[in-house]
């Protein structure tokens, strides 16, 4: 005999009323807002993270909080809601095998190198890219620029400061630590700051990958979109990958996360190496031009 699920039933042991119907509303809202597909198993995580928002706003139930969101009763709360549900797990040189590939790819390029890090989180990834470029060109001021974006404004603020606890760089070599970081003294003991030369290579800005248009121009030598697509369903993944195409140089590289496989989602890319993609040959000329016109809204 199948038991029916009462979506209005809440756990009376919790501080705030939160039932399956509330969870479904959260899932629907974050999907529409950020394209994130929350699994059934994320209900406790959602409660834990959004309970902080209820405390901050003085609201006493999830249904009331979600009503206020939908009615836009609290300025900027949509941003706080999105930030709360965005996962930001990162580290310096995470998935390390990508960075020698990037260094080899940019070596010897005559034109300035342009790279987009599409999920910068707290900054470790774009700073790792910047260090790689410095090493590839043998200078702290390489002919390169990095656009680092994220939907979460809180992590962008951290990334822009470039200040980290000392234990965040403990796995880096002594040479990289000396070359790219300044250790804090006195009141700043236990902290490190990335060198200003690295910070000068990067522009941080807020960007939602679900937006119809992105405030980006030009073509990139590489796009890092790592451990982001796992939060999107396949139609959303396909849409984003299609929009990457006109933003890439003909020999550009797309770096994905270790658990992501774009071959089942898009035929615009082919696998070059472990979680590294390049444009399919058919997009090297005519199709790329057509895609660029479409993105600009030209007939």
- Return d(Cα 198, Cα 245) in angstroms, integer: 28
Separation between Cα atoms, residue 155 and residue 254, nearest integer Å:
23
- Secondary structure element (H or E) that encloses residue 276, with its range: strand 276-279
pLDDT band at 294 (very low <50, low <70, confident <90, very high): very low
Confidence of residue 291 (pLDDT cuts 50, 70, 90): very low
Confidence of residue 75 (pLDDT cuts 50, 70, 90): low
Band (pLDDT 50/70/90 cuts) for residue 285 is low
Q: What pLDDT is attached to residue 15?
A: 81
Looking at beta carbons, which pairs linking 154-157 to residues 24 or more positions away fall under 8 Å?
Answer: 154/83, 155/83, 155/86, 155/88, 155/120, 155/121, 155/122, 155/123, 156/120, 156/204, 156/205, 156/206
Q: What is the pLDDT of residue 221?
A: 97
Q: Does residue 281 sit within a domain?
A: yes
Q: Which of 150, 152, 221, 268 is catalytic?
A: 150
What is the domain count for the chain?
Answer: 2
**Which residue is listed with tokens 């995470």?**
94
For residue 4, the model assigns a pLDDT of 44
The predicted-structure confidence for 243-284, as pLDDT tens digits, reads as follows 999 999 999 999 998 878 888 888 899 999 889 999 987 665
Instruction: Name which residue leads in pLDDT, 47 or 281.
Output: 47
- And the tokens for 159? 């990334």
Q: How far apart are CA 274 and CA 22, in angstroms?
A: 40
Report the alpha-carbon distance of residue 143 to residue 251 in Å, rounded. Answer: 18
* Whether residue 200 lies in the annotated active site: no
185 and 68 share a domain?
Answer: no
Answer whether residue 236 is part of any domain.
yes
Q: What is the mean pLDDT of residues 13-41?
A: 83
Q: Quick one: 102 and 189 in the same domain?
A: yes
281 shares a domain with 166 = yes
Sheet harboring 191-194: ordered strands across?
Answer: 163-165, 191-194, 181-183
Kindly state the tokens that stand for 110. 């005559």
**pLDDT value for 282:** 63
DSSP annotation of 219 reads: -
- Which domain covers residue 115, as residue numbers? 98-296
Q: Are residues 248 and 284 in the same domain?
A: yes
pLDDT category at 5 given cuts 50, 70, 90 is: very low
- The mean pLDDT value of the chain amounts to 85
Backbone angles phi, psi at 145, to 5 degrees: -145, 140
Q: Which of 21, 33, 49, 193 is catalytic?
A: 49
Q: Does residue 66 sit in the same domain as residue 103?
A: no
Active site (annotated) includes residue 21: no
pLDDT digits (tens, 9 = 90+) for 89-127: 678 999 999 999 999 999 988 899 999 999 898 899 999
From 85, 113, 130, give the residue that closes a domain: 85
CA 16 – CA 261 distance, rounded (Å)? 39
| Confidence grade of residue 203 (pLDDT, cut at 50, 70, 90) | very high
DSSP string, 131-191: HHHHHHHTSSS-SEEEEEEES-HHHHHHHHHTEEEGGGGTTS-HHHHHHHEEE--GGGTTE
Residues 24 and 138 in one domain: no
């Amino acid at each position: 005999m199948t038991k029916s699920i009462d979506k209005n039933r809440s756990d009376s042991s919790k501080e705030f009323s939160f039932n399956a119907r509330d969870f479904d509303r959260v899932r629907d809202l974050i999907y529409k807002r950020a394209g994130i597909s929350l699994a059934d198993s994320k209900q406790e995580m959602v409660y834990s993270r959004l309970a902080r928002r209820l405390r901050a706003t003085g609201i006493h139930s999830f249904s009331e909080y979600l009503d206020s969101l939908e009615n836009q009763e609290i300025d900027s709360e949509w941003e706080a809601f999105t930030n709360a549900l965005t996962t930001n797990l990162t580290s310096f040189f995470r998935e390390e095998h990508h960075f020698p590939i990037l260094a080899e790819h940019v070596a010897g390029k005559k034109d300035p190198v342009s790279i987009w890090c599409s999920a910068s989180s707290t900054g470790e990834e774009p700073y790792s890219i910047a260090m790689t470029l410095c090493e590839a060109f043998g200078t702290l001021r390489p002919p390169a620029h990095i656009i680092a974006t994220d939907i979460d404004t809180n992590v962008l603020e951290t990334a822009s400061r470039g200040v980290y606890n000392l234990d965040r760089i403990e796995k880096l070599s002594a040479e990289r630590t000396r070359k790219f970081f300044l250790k804090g003294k006195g009141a700043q003991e236990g902290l490190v700051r990335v060198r200003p030369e690295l910070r000068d290579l990067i522009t941080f800005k807020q960007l939602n990958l679900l937006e119809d248009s992105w405030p980006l121009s030009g073509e990139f030598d590489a796009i890092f979109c790592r451990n982001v697509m796992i939060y999107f369903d396949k139609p959303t993944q396909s849409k984003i990958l299609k929009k990457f195409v006109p933003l890439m140089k003909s020999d550009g590289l797309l770096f994905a996360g270790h658990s992501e496989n774009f071959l089942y989602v898009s035929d615009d890319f082919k696998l070059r190496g472990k979680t590294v993609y390049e444009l399919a040959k058919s997009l090297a000329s005519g199709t790329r031009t057509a895609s660029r016109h479409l993105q600009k809204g030209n007939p």
